[in-house]
Structure 1
Amino acid sequence: MSTTPHIPWTYARLASLPLAWRRRALRALVTGRRLLARDGGERFAATFESVLRLPRREALRLSRAAAHHDVASEIEWCALHKRPVDAIQRDIERVQVADPAVMERIAATGRPVILAPLHMGAYVLCLATLMVRHFPGRPMLVLRQRDDMGMETEVIERLREVDVDVRFLNVSQRADFLSAVRFAQKGAVIVVFCDLDPSYGAPAEMPMFGLPFRFAFGTDTLARLTGATVVPIATTMDDNGDTVGLGQPFEVRGQAAEERAKGADIMRRHIQAAIAARPEQWHLWPMLADYLPSSARVQDNSPAGGETPHDLAA
């Protein structure tokens, strides 16, 4: 176990409050410009203009919202790290699943399931909600390629205190991947993030927003070997609670290239729709270059840039 991370006093104080209270208090502080750097609100403006083809004013608004969301997300990590179990359970009650009937049908089959979230919103709390409501008694296996994420590990491990049997598995080697297959076949719910960059392996072309995005896509192989249903999900935060949105569930029945392409297209549409709906809540904008080839260029629509190409992958 890593050493306990340092949590700033202001974050710790906000994190101690009930979910709606801490988020409203944060909004009041942000409005007073006490937590965000003076220029923090413009950090992503040029990216939003270029990638999402937004006018400058809307890009600035979303950039300010993204800066707010970054702080709110950090406070949510602190809340899960420090709040007592009964308080976390009350926070879970404020999470809604957009289409619970779909999740209920998938869970009722008893077959292996792969949850494929994006890095959006308070995704740990939302994953806990899905496990408690729809997969009680089944372990949750989180796949990752490194184990040096101290705060994340400690927070996710706390889910055991709310009756979620969470485990981690590093899958940098083939033997590790086969262990994941065995876990799934024994009833584990596998969590594989769908927006990992290509360096995580098995990259697939998933163009979106007119750019040649590529994402890691080993989910199709895992689904084929386990017979699992893949459920793309997107989690979003609001002042009064969180929402788990579901994409199109799918299965992978064979090794044909067409089968992989079909799954990749479903995932591509899910990722693009989730980001387009709440771009300020996607956590990985700072790593945008990791998803694009070095030759990818888009138009910089900022007033200062005019029509000069802006290299987002540099």
Structure 2
Amino acid sequence: MTMPPRIPWTYARLAGLPLSWRRRLLRLILTGRGLAARLRGRRRDTGFAATFESVLRLPRREALRLSAQAHHHDVATELEWCALHRRPVDAILRDMERVTVTAPEIMERVAAGGRPVILAPLHMGAYVLGLATLMTRYFPGRPMLVLRQRDDMAMETAVIERLREIGTDVRFLTVGERADFLSAVRFAQKGAVIVVFCDLAPAYGAPAEMPMFGLPFRFAFGTDTLARLTGATVVPLATTMGDHGDTVSVSQPFEVRSSAPDERAMVAGIMRRHLQAAIAGRPDQWHLWPSLADYLPSSASVQANSPAGGEAPQSLAA
């Protein structure tokens, strides 16, 4: 039996409320607790200040502010997983009405072409709600195939599978062997919208150098091969959360024509710019800071600390 996210009882109660209500009430609760802690003389770093200082070159005060926002976002993200798990379909559909897409004309053009499509989001914000909104608004009737390298996250699987209840045929493909990758190609050629997260660690395969913030970042990068073999249009995405709704930011789509090294380098450059812009724009909402060391060589000197309490936020990798 699939279990809901492990969050405090109060937050579990909030999950049943409409999107703007639960998020505003959560902010009030966390703000109140923070104020009470300061009155008791307990002002502490919530976990990522040193990382933000080192990677983003921020002054200590700003790093502390962003660290507090990151802690808030971690809790809010767990609340959103719980809401998707528990709320009825009609309530989820109402929440989706609060999702704004920054470039709807791009999504309409990509969908109207009828060609295979690869959505390349980051692990940011309430990305499942964002993907659900894109599928229902722009790709009704088309299945969604989520590629992943492991299948041991039962809760995330159960939540994403709820998209079937709102009319999206969601499938998962655990890609580990060449035959599995070819299955993804066949799915795409039959009209499936493929979801490939663009911020996976290099251990997931086909690593590419994508230096950011003056550091030698590397990311897994098989999107170019999949796009070339399927003839798909790749749409880079990033979802961010707000108290009153979410925003899906759509970057310029692209296609991959060949396997030439210069084209791979060009496409890697496109994805690097997308990743850096998304993370720099809302660093508090990137879920994978606790795994920062996985993206850098061991020689890179970066403070990679965990949130207060010693526990890293729950992994949200699909």
Do both share a fold (TM > 0.5)?
yes
Query: Is the CA contact (8 Å cut-off) linking 1:36 and 1:68 kept in structure 2?
Result: no
Q: Which residue of 2 aligns with 1:128?
A: 132
Between stretches 27-36 and 39-48, larger displacement belongs to 27-36
State the secondary structure of the residue aligned to 1:254: coil
Distance in 2 separating the partners of 1:172 and 1:257: 24
TM-score, length basis structure 1: 0.92
> Deviations along 1:188-212, whole A, 9 cap, x unmatched?
0000000000000000000000000
Distance in 1 separating the partners of 2:71 and 2:48: 9
Q: Which residue of 1 aligns with 2:216?
A: 212
Q: Which residue of 2 aligns with 1:196?
A: 200
Amino acid at match of 1:274: A
How much has 1:246 moved relative to structure 2?
A: 1.0
Q: Which runs of 5+ in 1 are unaligned?
A: 301-314
State the secondary structure of the residue aligned to 2:160: helix
Q: Which runs of 5+ in 2 are unaligned?
A: 305-318
Alignment counterpart, residue 87 of structure 2, candidates 52, 66, 83: 83
Instruction: Decide whether aligned partners of structure 1 residues 35 and 186 sit closer, same or farther in structure 2, where only a CA change above 3 A counts.
Output: farther
Report the number of matched residues: 300
Instruction: Decide whether aligned partners of structure 1 residues 109 and 121 sit closer, same or farther in structure 2, where only a CA change above 3 A counts.
Output: same
Amino acid at match of 2:58: L
Matches within 5 A, 1:202-241: 202-241=206-245
Q: Which residue of 1 aligns with 2:147?
A: 143
Amino acid at match of 1:283: H
Amino acid at match of 1:29: I
Calculate the aligned-residue CA RMSD, in Å: 1.8
Between stretches 32-41 and 102-111, larger displacement belongs to 32-41
Q: Which residue of 2 aligns with 1:305?
A: none
How much has 1:39 moved relative to structure 2?
A: 6.7
Distance in 1 separating the partners of 2:35 and 2:266: 44
Distance in 2 separating the partners of 1:7 and 1:238: 20
How much has 1:59 moved relative to structure 2?
A: 0.3
Distance in 2 separating the partners of 1:88 and 1:19: 9
Distance in 2 separating the partners of 1:56 and 1:34: 19
Distance in 2 separating the partners of 1:20 and 1:4: 21
How much has 1:247 moved relative to structure 2?
A: 1.5
Instruction: Decide whether aligned partners of structure 1 residues 237 and 94 sit closer, same or farther in structure 2, where only a CA change above 3 A counts.
Output: same
Distance in 1 separating the partners of 2:149 and 2:55: 28
How much has 1:35 moved relative to structure 2?
A: 12
Aligned pair 1:92/2:129, yes or no?
A: no
Alignment counterpart, residue 71 of structure 2, candidates 67, 73, 94: 67
Percent of paired sites with the same residue: 79
> Deviations along 1:11-45, whole A, 9 cap, x unmatched?
21010110000000000000011799967743100
State the secondary structure of the residue aligned to 2:241: strand
State the secondary structure of the residue aligned to 1:232: strand
> Deviations along 1:114-138, whole A, 9 cap, x unmatched?
0000000000000000000000000
How much has 1:10 moved relative to structure 2?
A: 1.5
Between stretches 36-45 and 72-81, larger displacement belongs to 36-45
TM-score, length basis structure 2: 0.91
Matches within 5 A, 1:254-269: 254-269=258-273
Q: Which residue of 2 aligns with 1:250?
A: 254
Query: Is the CA contact (8 Å cut-off) linking 1:142 and 1:190 kept in structure 2?
Result: yes
How much has 1:284 moved relative to structure 2?
A: 0.3
